[in-house]
Structure 1
């Protein structure tokens, strides 16, 4: 942008961005124009301090212009390559632009007072015994919440920026000498090369951009909105990625067993933590395989079902106009539909609509002879089991896996269920999360592999780090 075209360019931008305010001051041949966004700057400082000082300066009774600008930390921004987008970036970052028309000079002064909210409990991860503060949309505030818990110079913070539709600040946090070097170099290289990637869509855009496998069905990273759990993950050898405008932190690299770990596990005794974690693992198997196994037994292997149970199921399905496979698909679809409706409706009415709608629709379907009680019960157990999973991305993954197992089981019976199980195991073994194996348990002994799924009592002076590389057989579990 040429210096003599600054005024015209700024006024042209204001005609299309009417949320930008201007103030014009002039005296003795001098003319000064102020540009700012009223809701992004501290209007009290501008109205009560800066503008009166500027008026005194123009009248010749106040400070000199150089002293006033230096006192407020003004920086000249009228370099030859300055464009309209750069001016917009300054304005919408809480800067006050001061334009001197007589000398065609433009200065920026930081009067930022951005909208923000106080840290509060995360809605995604309700706290029972842990800390009740949560991440917010401010990047610097989130880093401060981590620093408050980890007051050590070994915690490294590196800033990056995406220059897409709008510049977006990113931050990488990791502990010195605890993250595998291959994973650390990989995420650093991907963040440096993120370039003009559009991250306005949120944290999911960032995860896809840096994961290295955007088509992966399995979640390659975890996320949290709780600073205490994020700090614990850093100590355990993970890195965090924060994004401006997102109240969550991305955690990587991860293994399959770590997706079953709750942020509250460390606040309970190891007995309760083990029981809860094993319950989630069993629930994952139930939600993925129970519909497929039931359909395969009912359609192909009736001799494997106890006679009394088979008779009960057969009587309950008398007169149904659809096959068992279609009935199971319809039951799962209706229950998923109700759950999605409850999640999208306001919190006060969502749970009520889900419960009442489920009762009314289920009772009507049973009375109309469209669904059988046994199929409705099994579909409900599968849906409820999936809701016990901690990671929301893993919940979505189990829906896809459940449908995959159900289709193969309907086509090939128990043989199809076994094929689906082996295929998913091979897929998980061949998947990696930022250079670390997603299913690394073949590298460990039986005891070490078991300790990846349970938590032992904490030892004195133990950092309890989860290693993603081959570990000693005496390694403590996560």
Structure 2
């Protein structure tokens, strides 16, 4: 996709008048902008001023096309520009012209006439396997930081005119390009209009990442749960588009935003479409169980061991009692210490280089956990509960949901530490009511579980064989 001048940003009237002296003053203050003056004709009676950003244009095309055409150009009546130059619209402001220049477009000025040449070659990497979603049987071409490549990765999979692209420029300083993707025959019209409205209402100076845009278009920016999904694999984006959802691609981000979303969508993986349905069904159930364990196990175990020990089988109670004898910390403080330790190791594993980070996360947890037991800081049963919680957290596909689970887990743990089993159920009730109150672009966040829809719930929690998935399902909750 070549750089385009968005008509929604054009200025009319005197503000759109361009001044050569003002323009040169502007670009001279930018050290990365190169300005070249090329005389034309035998006597040099005409000069062409070229402006481009260093490192943002194709040097070979600049030499072979631009300079070659100017060298053989003989200006006639009206000084018609060489074919590679396209005239700038009269109502295009200097600000918008500079945005095009900063995007890799060459600006040429010939006798107060302004032209552009699309020879941009912005630095970037080629499609490679996404680091966010590991591919086992699926394709390995993931999104990169260039919006043109990301759009092409989606287009090559959907060769239909029903796939629509709409572009926006957000950020008065960054001029970040944003692409909205949807299937005209799948997406609901009100969803498309709502996405347009939310994007058009954004008035900010700089848009840095897709995460920033997620918050700006979300129904509740302060929500604990992610109300939009993200994905770095184009095959999953195609699947969601075919099920009536909308995708938003931000230039400079290697992932796409998916809206609307639901809690059932967040536990799905891009690999689900490339694996047998019975295996995927089992994996989804394990992810749902992992989500429940990650939320409730610490609070549940603390409530049992500290408040409701009569509910523990006698043989196990004896083991727990013996293991806790002589420990300086209470059960709630012990669990918080273990969870904090695992969170520290997880964060360290993310920040360090990948081979070293994996070693630190696994080996470090084992060594420090064993040392904590030998030092008498924690009991083996408490360490096992914290370790199972950490492993269950790793089953979550969405990293934003991972952060939400960590916060809610602490909330349930505090209530369980005060009220026991009753506090656990109070915390779960509060969380479920809160989730039922959430909406994503006007659709219930718990759909199809609340309001409950039997057939869609089966499709959301289980993977049906392809022979049973014909056409488009009604609603969004039962599909990808």
Tell me the TM-score normalised to structure 2 length: 0.89
Residue number in structure 1 paired with 2:153: 145
Q: Which runs of 5+ in 1 are unaligned?
A: 470-475
Q: In the alignment, is the contact (CA less than 8 A) between 2:163 and 2:182 conserved in 1?
A: yes
**Aligned partner (choices 252, 268, 285) of residue 278 of structure 1:** 285
**Aligned partner (choices 50, 54, 57) of residue 41 of structure 1:** 57
Residue number in structure 1 paired with 2:212: 205
Q: Which runs of 5+ in 2 are unaligned?
A: 1-14
Instruction: Give CA deviations for 1:314-371 in whole Å, capped at 9, x if unaligned.
Output: 2212222111111110100011100111011111311122223223322322222112
Label 1:368 to 1:82 Cα distance change in 2 as closer, same or farther (>3 A).
same
**Aligned partner (choices 104, 110, 115) of residue 118 of structure 2:** 110
Residue number in structure 2 paired with 1:10: 24
In structure 2, what is the Cα distance between the partners aligned to 1:104 and 1:164? Answer: 26
Shift of 1:33: 3.0
**Residue 419 of structure 2 corresponds to residue 419 of structure 1:** no
Q: In the alignment, is the contact (CA less than 8 A) between 1:135 and 1:225 conserved in 2?
A: yes
**Residue 416 of structure 2 corresponds to residue 409 of structure 1:** yes
Q: Which range moves more in the overlay, 401-410 or 353-362? A: 353-362
Residue number in structure 1 paired with 2:10: none
**Aligned partner (choices 35, 44, 47) of residue 22 of structure 1:** 35
SS at match of 2:270: coil
The count of residues paired between Structure 1 and Structure 2 equals 462
Residue number in structure 2 paired with 1:69: 81
In structure 2, what is the Cα distance between the partners aligned to 1:400 and 1:4? Answer: 54
Shift of 1:49: 4.0
Tell me the TM-score normalised to structure 1 length: 0.89
Instruction: Give CA deviations for 1:392-435 in whole Å, capped at 9, x if unaligned.
Output: 11111111111011000001111100001111111111111110
Instruction: Spell out the pairing of 1:426-445 with structure 2 (5 A cutoff).
Output: 426-440=433-447, 441-445=449-453
Q: CA RMSD in A?
A: 2.5
SS at match of 2:381: helix
Q: Which range moves more in the overlay, 384-393 or 147-156? A: 147-156
Instruction: Give CA deviations for 1:285-321 in whole Å, capped at 9, x if unaligned.
Output: 1111000011111111111111221221222122221
Label 1:65 to 1:209 Cα distance change in 2 as closer, same or farther (>3 A).
farther
**Aligned partner (choices 128, 141, 157) of residue 136 of structure 2:** 128
Label 1:446 to 1:63 Cα distance change in 2 as closer, same or farther (>3 A).
closer
Residue number in structure 1 paired with 2:389: 382
Q: Which range moves more in the overlay, 159-168 or 286-295? A: 159-168
Shift of 1:64: 4.2
In structure 2, what is the Cα distance between the partners aligned to 1:434 and 1:35? Answer: 44
Instruction: Spell out the pairing of 1:193-342 with structure 2 (5 A cutoff).
Output: 193-196=201-204, 198-200=206-208, 202-342=209-349
In structure 2, what is the Cα distance between the partners aligned to 1:460 and 1:93? Answer: 47
Label 1:466 to 1:273 Cα distance change in 2 as closer, same or farther (>3 A).
farther
**Residue 375 of structure 2 corresponds to residue 368 of structure 1:** yes
Q: Which range moves more in the overlay, 429-438 or 299-308? A: 299-308
Instruction: Give CA deviations for 1:188-243 in whole Å, capped at 9, x if unaligned.
Output: 2112222336311x111111111121011111111111111111111112111111
Q: In the alignment, is the contact (CA less than 8 A) between 2:444 and 2:450 conserved in 1?
A: no
Instruction: Give CA deviations for 1:128-184 in whole Å, capped at 9, x if unaligned.
Output: 111121122222322222222222222222222213321111121222242234333
Residue number in structure 2 paired with 1:93: 103
Q: In the alignment, is the contact (CA less than 8 A) between 2:243 and 2:479 conserved in 1?
A: no
In structure 2, what is the Cα distance between the partners aligned to 1:12 and 1:425? Answer: 56
In structure 2, what is the Cα distance between the partners aligned to 1:305 and 1:286? Answer: 18
**Aligned partner (choices 58, 66, 74) of residue 50 of structure 1:** 66
Q: In the alignment, is the contact (CA less than 8 A) between 2:174 and 2:205 conserved in 1?
A: no
SS at match of 1:71: coil
Shift of 1:477: 7.2
Residue number in structure 2 paired with 1:473: none
Label 1:212 to 1:55 Cα distance change in 2 as closer, same or farther (>3 A).
same
Q: In the alignment, is the contact (CA less than 8 A) between 1:3 and 1:104 conserved in 2?
A: no
